[in-house]
């Protein structure tokens, strides 16, 4: 059998439950060697350091330096649910169930079973200090500014794209050090946001109405992921008012920037899109992966979203949809607060004030971590381009299957010499990519081989389609009720069938999907939880959202009229195609 570039992880018996939940938004695709060595490995180290600073991590938690929080099984990245629950176990006033609600709502995870060593007095005291500081937050946390500075420092060190190969490779190999600090900040804000939102989740549950947590959190305002949609909507309005731009878009988005009309509208569009790319060009599908497409290197991704937005005849501004958000939030507060004791009321009130800042901080530090990778992606693509001119493969994903620490320099010196290796690994990559990964892996004996995954896929039964009157249930994401035609979209770059007023139905979403939210009447995703990207952005844009609707993209027929209830967490079939 061919040598595989995939480095399969080992299940730590103390932390056995691993899940694709939540991490599917971050690493939706099979990992490359480039992404694993320069991204996942430093992320694991940074995650441990962040949890150590917060007090979640205890010195004896891990017996090895091998990745445990982020595992690699069957070609895909997994999160260690067992260990992440320690946030809830060790944080005073929180619970493992609150962490599940925040991050792992889908898939019915195995329940938490207490074990010796889970609770640590020292850890709880340190986390208590962290939580008290977090609940007193009344402005943007300093971690956000620190992430901006770290990202800019790495960017400024980037050599010219005309520099020698070795200089570019050297810069690429510096990425893990720069990325570690950025990722640590993101993990800190994520953990704190989870704990603070967990207080609100527990309060809603105590009141007997867990779905009210979506109202309690509400829209935070100034969330970076939502800004992409708002700025692209403004650009789409230029197209909507212009006959010359409309004609250009009707001919498709491929090479559109080279076909812009030479008139005032064309220049206005070019300027607006250029400003958008300069600010947000680092985002794209699978944007933690160094070989991935971005709005900078593949502008058609953003242009396709503009094409969908330009068709909307109604006002896409979130302000028109968020008009009742404050009233809903206050009503939820009034229903929950009477069910709490004095101390819980104090924590509840402080969490209500603090959650907008930590939601913003979580998204901002995530955005900066991805932006910090942009110069590395630019350097990497330049290396791929140069090697292709000398007989190498032009596909950035295929070249990413070479080990960057041992094979990339050899490839740059003699690209043709590695073509057989690249082709061999690309064939394996395609086989892994064709398989749906198992959602939970809870022991070493369950780590599947590629052959086992393929056999299971071939034996799997076809998912039955939902019929008239059926109600698909998931978790409440963002409140509100909307009706529209279900539009199944599995790739944000292939959403040309999505019309304004349709219901966007996706397997999962990351920030590259955000522009598709604005023209949609509602959003439904297969996986997700309270802190999922789909939920956060839907709240900011005022769009009803239901997450964790298992198999929604398979069960719903494209074009079916559905009603989405974002508070109840239901999708009802109103009319069949």
How far apart, in whole angstroms, are the C-alpha atoms of residue 118 and residue 249?
Answer: 57
How far apart, in whole angstroms, are the C-alpha atoms of residue 8 and residue 554?
Answer: 29
What's 223-262 look like in SS3?
A: CHHHHHHHHHHHHHHHHHHCHHHHHHHHCCCCCHHHCCCC
Residues 512 and 398 in one domain: no
How far apart, in whole angstroms, are the C-alpha atoms of residue 379 and residue 382?
Answer: 5
Residue 559 lies inside a defined structural domain of this protein: yes
Question: Which two three-digit tokens encode residue 290?
Answer: 């160094």
Question: Which two three-digit tokens encode residue 497?
Answer: 């069938």
Residues 8 and 117 in one domain: yes
> Which CATH number belongs to the domain containing residue 535 in this structure?
3.50.30.10
How far apart, in whole angstroms, are the C-alpha atoms of residue 577 and residue 573?
Answer: 10
Beta strands (DSSP E) in 398-553 are 440-441, 471-473, 475-478, 481-488, 503-506, 522-525, 545-547
How far apart, in whole angstroms, are the C-alpha atoms of residue 464 and residue 81?
Answer: 30
Among candidate residues 329, 320, 275, the one with its CA nearest the CA of residue 302: 275
DSSP string covering 12-44: -TTS--EE-TTHHHH--SPPPHHHIIIIIHHHH
- Longest Cα–Cα distance in the chain: 71
Residue 245 lies inside a defined structural domain of this protein: no
By the 8 A CB rule, do 308 and 495 touch? yes
Among candidate residues 423, 371, 372, the one with its CA nearest the CA of residue 398: 423
pTM above 0.85, yes or no: yes
Residue 480 lies inside a defined structural domain of this protein: yes
Residues 401 and 451 in one domain: yes
Residue 232 lies inside a defined structural domain of this protein: no
**Of the candidates 460, 487, 504, which is a domain's last residue?**
460
Number of domains the chain contains: 2
How far apart, in whole angstroms, are the C-alpha atoms of residue 527 and residue 231?
Answer: 27
Whole-Å CA distances, 224 to 120, 205, 503: 36, 29, 23
Residues 509 and 546 in one domain: yes
pLDDT tens for the chain, 577 residues long, are 345 778 788 899 999 999 988 888 888 899 999 999 999 999 999 999 999 999 999 888 998 888 999 999 989 999 999 999 998 899 887 888 888 877 776 557 788 999 988 998 989 999 999 989 999 999 999 999 999 999 999 999 999 999 999 999 999 999 999 999 999 999 999 999 888 888 898 899 899 988 788 778 866 555 666 678 788 888 999 999 999 999 999 999 999 999 999 999 999 999 999 999 999 999 988 889 999 999 999 999 999 989 988 887 655 565 555 556 678 788 889 999 999 999 999 999 999 999 989 988 998 999 999 999 999 999 999 999 999 999 999 999 999 999 999 999 999 999 999 999 999 999 999 999 998 888 899 988 888 888 988 898 888 777 889 999 999 999 888 888 999 999 999 988 788 889 989 999 998 887 778 888 888 999 999 988 877 878 888 887 888 999 989 889 999 999 999 999 998 899 999 999 8
Residue 544's domain spans which residues?
Answer: 471-575
Determine the length of the chain: 577
How does pLDDT run across 6-20, given as a tens digit for each residue?
Answer: 878 889 999 999 998
Whole-Å CA distances, 359 to 94, 133, 355: 18, 15, 6
Helices assigned H by DSSP within 337-459: 342-389, 396-399, 408-413, 419-433, 450-459
How far apart, in whole angstroms, are the C-alpha atoms of residue 67 and residue 562?
Answer: 42
Among candidate residues 511, 514, 505, the one with its CA nearest the CA of residue 229: 514
Give rounded-to-5 percent helix, strand, coil for the chain.
55, 10, 40
Residue 133 lies inside a defined structural domain of this protein: no
**Of the candidates 434, 460, 486, which is a domain's last residue?**
460
**Of the candidates 411, 440, 460, which is a domain's last residue?**
460
Residues 413 and 504 in one domain: no
Residues 556 and 499 in one domain: yes
How does pLDDT run across 204-217, given as a tens digit for each residue?
Answer: 989 998 878 877 88
Torsion of CA 220, 224, 226, 227, to 10 degrees: 120
């Amino acid at each position: 059998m061919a040598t595989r570039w995939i480095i399969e992880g080992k299940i730590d018996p103390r932390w056995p439950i691993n899940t694709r939940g939540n991490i599917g938004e971050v690493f939706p695709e099979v990992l490359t060697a480039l992404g694993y060595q320069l991204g996942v490995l430093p992320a694991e180290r940074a995650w441990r350091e962040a949890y150590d600073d917060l007090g979640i991590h205890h010195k004896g938690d891990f017996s090895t330096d091998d990745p445990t929080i982020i595992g690699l099984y069957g070609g895909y990245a997994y999160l260690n649910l067992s260990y992440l629950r320690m946030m809830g176990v060790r944080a005073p006033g929180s619970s493992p169930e609150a962490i599940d609600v925040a991050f792992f709502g889908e898939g019915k995870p195995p329940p938490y079973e207490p074990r010796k060593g889970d609770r640590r007095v020292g850890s709880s005291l340190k986390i208590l200090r962290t939580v008290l500081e977090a609940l007193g937050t009344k402005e943007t946390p300093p971690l956000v500014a620190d992430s901006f500075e770290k990202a800019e420092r790495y960017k400024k060190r980037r050599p010219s794209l005309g520099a020698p190969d070795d200089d570019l490779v050297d810069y690429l190999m510096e990425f893990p050090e720069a990325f570690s600090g950025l990722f640590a900040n993101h993990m800190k804000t994520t953990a704190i946001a989870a704990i603070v939102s967990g207080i609100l989740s527990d309060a809603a549950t105590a009141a007997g109405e867990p779905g009210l947590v979506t109202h309690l959190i509400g829209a935070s305002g100034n969330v970076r992921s939502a800004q992409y949609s708002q700025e692209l909507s403004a650009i789409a309005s230029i197209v909507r008012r212009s006959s010359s731009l409309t004609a250009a878009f009707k001919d498709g988005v491929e090479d559109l920037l080279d076909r812009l009309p030479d008139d005032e509208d064309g220049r206005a569009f070019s300027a607006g899109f250029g400003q958008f790319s300069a600010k947000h060009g680092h985002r794209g599908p699978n944007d933690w992966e160094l070989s991935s497409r971005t709005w900078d290197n593949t502008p058609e991704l953003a242009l396709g979203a503009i094409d969908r937005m330009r068709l909307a005849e109604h006002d896409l501004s979130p302000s028109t949809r968020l008009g009742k958000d404050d009233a809903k939030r206050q009503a939820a507060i009034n229903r929950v607060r009477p069910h709490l004791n004095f101390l819980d009321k104090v924590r509840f009130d402080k969490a209500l004030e603090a959650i907008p800042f930590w939601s913003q901080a979580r998204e901002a530090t995530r955005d900066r971590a991805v932006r910090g990778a942009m110069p590395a992606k630019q350097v990497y693509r330049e290396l791929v381009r140069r090697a292709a001119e000398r007989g190498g493969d032009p596909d950035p994903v295929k070249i990413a299957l070479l080990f960057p620490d041992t094979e990339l320099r050899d490839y740059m010196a003699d690209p043709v010499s590695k073509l057989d290796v690249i082709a061999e690994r690309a064939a394996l990559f395609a086989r892994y990519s064709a398989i749906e990964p198992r959602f939970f892996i809870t022991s070493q004996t369950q780590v599947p081989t590629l052959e086992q995954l393929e056999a299971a896929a071939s034996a799997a039964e076809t998912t039955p389609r939902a019929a008239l009157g059926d109600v698909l249930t998931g978790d409440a994401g963002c409140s509100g009720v909307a009706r529209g035609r279900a539009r199944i979209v599995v790739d944000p770059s292939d959403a040309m069938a999505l019309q304004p007023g349709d219901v966007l139905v996706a397997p999962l979403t990351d920030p590259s999907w955000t522009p598709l939210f604005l023209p949609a009447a509602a959003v439904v995703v297969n996986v997700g939880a309270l802190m999922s990207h789909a939920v956060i952005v839907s709240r900011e844009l005022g769009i009803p959202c239901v997450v964790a609707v298992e198999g929604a993209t398979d069960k719903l027929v494209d074009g079916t009229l559905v009603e989405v209830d974002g508070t109840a967490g239901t999708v009802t079939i109103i009319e069949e195609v």
